[in-house]
Structure 1
């Protein structure tokens, strides 16, 4: 092992000890707890080099050292493998998520699961409608002059609208309307579908023009983004425990999480399903989040990105375990939404 590799081993040991014990780490403790295969004098020299290079630092009141943001960054960048979840954990995730009733339930369960597995705050973004496609439009007669429109997307989202037509329509007309809507919209991305819907009244035969005008107005509302549904958060109580030493940061982080734009920005870094992004401390754009690390990932199916999810916690977190949990939950959410 050359000197650089050995120093990286020392850094890994400091990160592991500090994450598990929340106490600054001294050279004597490292030698006792970790099989580094070198003397404490060598470990002291390595720690001095790591400190000089800005990977670890000494809190004022302690003889031990703690990792800096730069130290955590090097640690994460050099992770050769994630701590795999046990088969039992994986089975539990799958069973729990498969029991979900609909999209809302899938996302609520995902957030609860992520918060429990990582003991951090979990965030899941609703599938962005711009990337969703129309799977089917159902038209149901409630009374001869009232219809229910049900728009189902490929992400499992179901949007229902009840519509007063102001005039009686026959079953045959309803069947005609259903056919026109599905011929025009099935498989279309939602932004394109809303353009097509707007054109339908002009293209419809004269006897369908009146109901089609009302239907297209209602459907356009279903096809545009619902900003209030953008994020689901879980496990905020974990913050209180994780930031007990930094009460000032706790308040800032809570406020930033409530400001959904900040979190959406953090999740916007995800570009493709399955790719994990880790933002550590000062790498976070928002000042209020600079005492935290954010581990995020995209979820989706068949290479299509539907949304992002992740966890927010202190920079002192179990990165390999957190990254593995985030990846596992995202994989199952993608599979479940693909199968709906």
Structure 2
């Protein structure tokens, strides 16, 4: 496609996103300095329609972009819409005020929803990509023990162990010390082999306590249901209800299913550029009117999780991509600093 037709397509996308109305040739002439006559623009629009990049929703109407048109527009973006210095300062200030990982995730998902006016989703740092920072054992009384697993990303997993009898404080201290000496700094895949023989290192009468702790710790590491996501901005989708038509219900259902959200976010294995999936490119049933903008976050090239936004195909792609990318970079810096 030649540059002029790309400019016409770009103008149609931008006008349709801004006005929510089909775009005609006269509007393009009036609003954009394309340097050609109305007749030339009409010919270009006819070619774009024949090639499937725009369509006419009904007779005598202007044109609107198709999924194929949005795809070409996104692929040919020379640059995303830059955030202002004030926006960047506000993002950094808001995220740096977080007190722990849960607060970082909560602030991130709310910020994304506010910046993009879409539904935002943030995956917690994946346990499978984390290492153990510390294991804490806390007696709760009545033969109950709290096992606390803290990862290098600050994520905290807690499990309660029911024991046959109340353990001595000296045993808990010894078990805590040996356990951390074995597993601190290890990735989760390496922990099991270190912990499995731990009970045999203790006196016979203490092994039931050690075994209970070891089993609970291993369950925390191997369970596949541990991936968590946070969602915000669902109410923003109400502004686009007429654009989704019957597609809004499956989108709202998807936002309630964490397994679906994780699949939509993607499972990036390393820090990646912003990814845009448009309409029919989304394999999940019922999301053909939805675009999803995602990226991974994590220090350096390491991906600890993913974040992104979901909205109608008629979205401000340059602005949304800039916001998603910027927030991911700031979250990565904050986690790296910790």
Q: Which TM-score applies when normalising by structure 1?
A: 0.91
2:72 to 25, 50, 74: 74
User: CA offset at residue 245 of structure 1?
Assistant: 3.7
The answer for the alignment partner of 2:294 in structure 1 is: 296
Query: Could you tell me how far apart the structure 1 residues matched to 2:19 and 2:52 are?
Result: 22
Q: Which residue of 2 aligns with 1:116?
A: 114
Aligned partners of 2:16, 2:93: CA distance in 1, in Å?
Answer: 34
Does residue 130 of the first structure (1) align with residue 96 of the second (2)? Answer: no
- CA shift, 1:167, in A, is 4.4
Give, in angstroms, the shift of residue 264 of structure 1.
Answer: 1.7
What pairs up with 1:206-245 in 2 under 5 angstroms?
209-225=207-223, 227=225, 230-245=228-243
Q: String of CA shifts for 1:218-256, please: whole Å, max 9, x gaps.
A: 322332346275221111111111232443121222123
Which runs of 5 or more structure 2 residues have no equivalent in the other structure? none
- Higher mean C-alpha displacement, 56-65 vs 28-37: 56-65
1:64-111 per-position Cα deviation (integer Å, ceiling 9, x unaligned): 111110000000001111111112111111221222232222212111
Worse-matched range after superposition: 187-196 or 116-125: 187-196
What residue ranges of structure 1 are gaps of 5+ in the alignment? none
User: Is the CA contact (8 Å cut-off) linking 1:13 and 1:30 kept in structure 2?
Assistant: yes
Preserved contact between residue 126 and residue 227 of structure 2 (Cα < 8 Å)? no
- Distance change >3 Å, CA 235–CA 228, structure 1 → 2: farther
Task: Identify the residue that residue 249 of structure 1 maps to in structure 2.
Answer: 247
Residues 49, 269 of structure 1: alpha-carbon distance in 2 compared, 3 angstrom cutoff = farther
Q: Match for 2:18 among 20, 45, 50? A: 20
Spell out the pairing of 1:251-290 with structure 2 (5 A cutoff): 251-268=249-266, 270-290=268-288
The aligned residue for residue 316 of structure 2 is: 318
- Give the 3-state SS of the residue equivalent to 2:82 in structure 1: coil
Please tell me whether the aligned partners of residues 270 and 277 of structure 1 are also in contact (alpha carbons under 8 angstroms): no
Distance 2:110 2:229 in 1: 13
Contact 2:251/2:286 (8 A) holds in 1: yes
CA RMSD of superposed structures (Å): 2.3
Shift in Å at residue 154 of structure 1? 1.0
The change in CA–CA distance for 1:168 and 1:286 in structure 2 (over 3 A counts) is: closer
Distance 2:285 2:107 in 1: 30
Name the counterpart of 1:199: 197
Q: Greater shift after overlay, 145-154 or 292-301?
A: 145-154
Q: Distance in 1 between matches of 2:9 and 2:288?
A: 22
Contact residue 144 and residue 170 of structure 1 kept, 8 A: no
Q: Which deviates more from structure 2 when the two are superposed, residues 26-35 or residues 239-248?
A: 239-248
Assess if the C-alpha contact under 8 Å between 1:132 and 1:153 holds in 2. yes
Output the CA distance in 2 between the equivalents of 1:168 and 1:304. 40
Instruction: After TM superposition, give the deviation of residue 287 of structure 1 in Å.
Output: 2.5
SS at match of 2:286: helix
Q: Is the 8 A contact 1:144 1:168 kept in 2?
A: no
Check conservation: 1:26, 1:63, Cα contact below 8 A.
yes
CA distance in 2, matches of 1:61, 1:258: 39
Matched, 1:328 2:297: no
Report what 2:151 is aligned to: 153
Asked if 2 retains the 8 angstrom alpha-carbon contact of 1:270 and 1:276, the reply is: no
1:50 maps to 48
Give yes or no for contact 2:167–2:209 (8 Å, CA) kept in 1. no
Q: How does 1:158-197 map to 2 (within 5 A)?
A: 158-163=156-161, 166-171=165-170, 173-197=171-195
Partner SS state of residue 289, structure 1: coil
